[in-house]
Amino acid sequence: VTIATDLGKVVTRLQLERSEVAFFIYTNGSRLRFNLTQRYAETDETLKNLTTWPLVSVPRDEAKTQTYDVVNREAFQTRLDDF
């Protein structure tokens, strides 16, 4: 149950990030609902608080024909920072 709760928190933080970025783009960068840097920091903190790290497969290309497995938090955050 703890793992599911932790993953739910991560998904929520990522969705909030996505929402903020979409709103920022929609308004042509003229409005922010929330400080993006702070939002990213909250996601990073949530990732740090995960008690167990699940195996995550991430697409290598836009067509999603190739994936690679992320086996730890640091690798996931590095890939996340690429976006």
CB 7 within 8 A of CB 54: yes
CB 36 within 8 A of CB 20: yes
The pLDDT score that the predictor gives to residue 79 is 74
pLDDT digits (tens, 9 = 90+) for 31-61: 777 788 899 999 999 988 888 887 778 777 7
Strands (E), 1-83: 56-59, 67-70
Q: What is the mean pLDDT of the chain?
A: 84
pTM: 0.70
Q: How far apart are CA 45 and CA 67, in angstroms?
A: 26
The pLDDT score that the predictor gives to residue 83 is 65
What are the boundaries of each domain within the chain?
A: 1-52, 53-83
